[in-house]
Structure 1
Amino acid sequence: MTKKQKFPYLLGSKWTAQQKVDGWRHFRVINRKNQGKWVYAEMVAACDPNVRFWINAKLLQDRSQWEAGWQTLQEMNSPQEEVS
C-alpha cells in the first residue's frame, strides 16, 4: 500500500505573506522536497524571480503568517466573516 503524500497540492500553489518577505507579499511554490518526515516548499516572489527561499510547508498552515492564494491588502485587513 502506498503512503499518502503530505501536501499533495503544494506545487504551483499561491500564497500571501502577512508580513513582507524581502519586500514582497505574493509567492508561488515552484518546488518541493521531502526530508524525512518534513516537507519543504521553495517559494518565489510573484514579481521578482530572484527572491526565493525554502520554507517548511507546515508553516504555510499558520494563518498568522500565510494566507492561501493572493490576497489584496484590503482583503487581509478586513475581518473574516464567520459562517454558522
Structure 2
Amino acid sequence: MSRTLKFPYLVGSKWTAHRKVDGWRHFRVVNRKNLENWVFAEIVAACDPKVRFWLNAQLLKEPTLWQTGWRSLQEAAATEIPVPEAAPIISPQPQLADSWSVPSCQGR
C-alpha cells in the first residue's frame, strides 16, 4: 500500500511572511524533515542566508501568517488578512546555506 507524501513540493518553494521574521519577509524552503505524522520545513531568508529556522509545514497553510511566492509590499497589502498578535514559535538552526539568486534584497 503506497502512502501519499504530504507537501510533495515543499523544498524549493518560496513564501512571503505577513510580518517580518528577523527583519525579513521573503523566504525559501531548503529542507524538510518528516517526524512521525509531522512535516517540518527549514526556511531561509531570501536575502540573508544566516536567517534560517525550522517550522511545522502546516503553518505555511495559515493565510494570516504566510502567502505562497515572493510578494511585493503592494501585492501583499492587496491581499492583506488580519494578522494575530502572537507569532508562531520557530527554532533557529544556523548552518551554511546554498546559494541562489534573489530578485531584490533592498529595503528588507
Offset at residue 2 of structure 1 (A) = 1.5
1:28 alignment counterpart = 28
Structure 1: gaps (5+ residues)? none
Offset at residue 79 of structure 1 (A) = 4.3
Offset at residue 20 of structure 1 (A) = 0.1
Q: Which amino acid aligns with 2:54?
A: W
Aligned positions, number: 80
Write out aligned runs for 1:1-84 (5 A): 1-79=1-79
Q: Which amino acid aligns with 2:19?
A: Q
The runs of at least 4 aligned residues of structure 1 exceeding 3 Å deviation read none
The two structures have a TM-score, normalised by structure 1, of 0.92
Flag the structure with higher strand content. Answer: 1
The residue matched to 1:71 in structure 2 has which SS?
Answer: coil
**How large is the Cα RMSD of the aligned pairs?**
1.0
**Percent of matched pairs sharing the same residue:** 62
The two structures have a TM-score, normalised by structure 2, of 0.72
Structure 2: gaps (5+ residues)? 81-108
The residue matched to 2:53 in structure 1 has which SS?
Answer: strand
Deviations 1:6-61 (A, max 9, x none): 00010100000000000000000000000110000000000000000001000000
Distance 2:74 2:49 in 1: 25
Instruction: Flag the 1:4–1:16 CA change in 2: closer, same or farther, 3 A.
Output: same
The residue matched to 2:12 in structure 1 has which SS?
Answer: coil
Q: Which amino acid aligns with 2:33?
A: K
